[in-house]
Chains A and B, each alone.
Chain A
Amino acid sequence: MSDPAPNALRRDVTPPEPIQPHEPPVAPARPVPHAGQAAPPERLARAVTVERLNAWYGEQHSIKDLTLSFAPNKATALIGPSGSGKSTVVRCINRMHEEIPGARAGGRVLLDDDDVYGPGVDVVAVRRAIGMVFQKPNPFPTMSIFDNVAAGLRLTSRKVGRDQVERALRGAGLWEEVKDRLPKPGIGLSGGQQQRLCIARALAVEPDVLLMDEPASALDPISTLKIEELVEELKARVTIVIVTHNMQQAARVADDTAFLLDGELVEVGPTEKIFTNPDDSRTEEYVTGKFG
């Protein structure tokens, strides 16, 4: 299967040099021709490639042989009806899937060339490299705004500087709103602010990839808009995978869109093509609202 070559995610191999600035991938798994709106990324993130992924919840086979890749410094949306496995795919990428009792996954998930499921890989290292934002804002209720942002670093035994927290909060577009009340509890913020706090918390560990599992579905339209603008900005630093059941949102924020149905990939391509001229008739029926 995988060779014992150096793998940055392995616990026993200490990566000698910092991972950034990262070499651009020599050959992207699937070149994404995207009309050149993109400013050059300020930091090259890493690509995620899912190969023949299968996932189960107990006996229920919920992801079937999924192969899909997510281009670096792009936002890729996963769309599909409820139960199509969008969230499961995302949870398999940072190995959160296995935290559910009875759940298991098989196949390969590559972060550039490192297999997330390789032998000896430290889950902690995987999750540091691949951050996650959940559907409902979940700041730690016992912690202040500052401590919430610092939590990721502290929980993985690293020192936290004020500048790191500031950078993360700026990255999440929250700094101006909270800079005067950092010691106040994180749950005192509004729902949209809480979600951006969670984004800041994920950013503070400087991940390469940010997984967003319906990040705006519990928020009001204005907060949703802010999150969407944020996705656009964050692409300069991270690769984004965003699950959404809101097709307008996918159309607004994603460079690429993948349509899932019953745990299988139906179609993936540039967002514009998926929404205007999909190859598969099921995709067309879904995006035009005929089902789902």
Chain B
Amino acid sequence: MSAVGFAPISARRRRVDKLARGGVALLTALALVPLVLILYYLVRQGIGAISIRFFTSDPTGSFLGDPGGIKSAIVGTLLMVGLATVVAVPVGVGVAIWLVEFGRGSKLAHAVRYFIDVMTGVPSIVFGLFVYITLVLGGVGGSSFAGWKGSVALGLLMLPIVTRSAEVVLLLVPDALREASYALGAPRWKTVFRIVLPTALPGIVTGVLLAIARAAGETAPLLFTAAVVNATAFNYNDRMNSLPALIFQNVGQAQDRLVTIAWGAALTLVAMILMLTLLARLIQRRSRLS
């Protein structure tokens, strides 16, 4: 071919490119609007409620005098979500390991995966109802409403989230690594624990955080499993307060003081989850360097 120069980019292509870029930017901005608004209102409405006493005293439940703080709700949320995490994460990751490393392709694995998908779609109030009917009405453990029953409901809710996300990241671990491990004479379980899990760890942590955040924000499963109370409880067999339940209760009150407390509690909840996420990322980064 003779020396013909390259044709310049056509005006049409330039226009289409500009349009596409503009469109994507616009959509991004649109998606950010509610997020920013939520954070803005949360801080604006909630910051007024924050004080040292807010975190160190229980709600009083009195309609006239001092409404108190949210200590019992913070403690209750930490205890119940903590217990649910401790139980649901090992089980969920274990199921994921089985699905990916051992049961891959088997009929049972397909069935398990299907039920987990169904469980993911179950509304959270159904878990609460299930625990209410089986554990609360039955008075299991000698109590009606109890913190650990709330944990059961939250754990059931977390289980499919943890399993599904862990399964996805385990599937992402290249088979070449498993083969390399087998070729070195490593047994299967060691390959899973020493090679596959560490490789998938960042992804698993992300999934776990997602599940924790979801559970910490759930009201429905707690309303009729752990109930809503004022006093701080450390005994899992007692009724426990929780941040979402407290928000739910206070925001419906006809008193601005109580609504402000609900906003303050919401801000606290968001801040707690944010701190947890940051902490996890920090630990992850440190462990990767070593």
Contacts and interface: CB of A to CB of B under 8 A. Distances in A.
Nearest to A133: B183
Interface SS majority for chain B:
helix
Given A134-B176, A138-B176, A142-B198, A94 B186 contact: no
B102 to A, nearest CB: 11
Contacts of A142: 195, 198-199, 201
Interface residues of B, number: 21
Contacts of A13: none
A139 B186 CA distance: 15
Contacts of B183: 94, 96, 127, 131-132, 134, 202
B105 interface: yes
A96 B179 contact: yes
B187 A124 contact: yes
A152 B105 contact: no
B177 A99 contact: no
A201 B191 CA distance: 15
B22 to A, nearest CB: 39
Contacts of B34: none
Given A134-B176, A138-B174, A155 B186 contact: yes
A171 to B, nearest CB: 16
A198 interface: yes
Nearest to A143: B198
A262 B31 CA distance: 57
A142 B288 CA distance: 7
Nearest to A138: B176
A99 B183 CA distance: 10
A275 interface: no
A287 interface: no
Interface in A127-178: 127-128, 131-132, 134, 136, 138-142, 151-152, 154-156
B174 A101 contact: no
A141 B201 CA distance: 12
A260 B199 CA distance: 37
A127 B181 CA distance: 10
A205 interface: yes
Which interface residue of B105, B182, B201 has the most chain A CB atoms within 10 A? B182
Given A151-B184, A155-B185, A156-B185, A138 B179 contact: yes
A140 B180 contact: yes
A125 interface: yes
B44 interface: no
Contacts of A94: 183
A201 B184 contact: yes
Contacts of A205: 184-185
B53 interface: no
B181 A155 contact: yes
Nearest to B185: A127
Contacts of B177: 138, 140-141
A99 B180 CA distance: 12
A96 B182 contact: yes
A76 to B, nearest CB: 19
Contacts of A127: 182-185
A254 to B, nearest CB: 22
B209 to A, nearest CB: 20
A152 B180 CA distance: 9
Interface of B: 104-105, 174, 176-177, 179-187, 190-191, 194-195, 198-199, 201
10 contacts: A101-B105, A131-B184, A134-B180, A138-B176, A139-B180, A142-B201, A152-B186, A155-B184, A155-B185, A155-B186
Given A132-B183, A156-B185, A205-B184, 16 more contacts: A99-B179, A123-B185, A124-B185, A127-B184, A128-B184, A138-B179, A140-B180, A141-B177, A142-B198, A142-B199, A152-B185, A152-B186, A155-B185, A198-B180, A201-B184, A205-B185
Interface of A: 94, 96, 99, 101, 123-128, 131-132, 134, 136, 138-142, 151-152, 154-156, 198, 201-202, 205
- Give the 9 A-B residue pairs with the shortest CB-CB distance, closest first: A155-B186, A152-B184, A127-B185, A132-B183, A138-B176, A142-B198, A128-B185, A124-B185, A138-B180
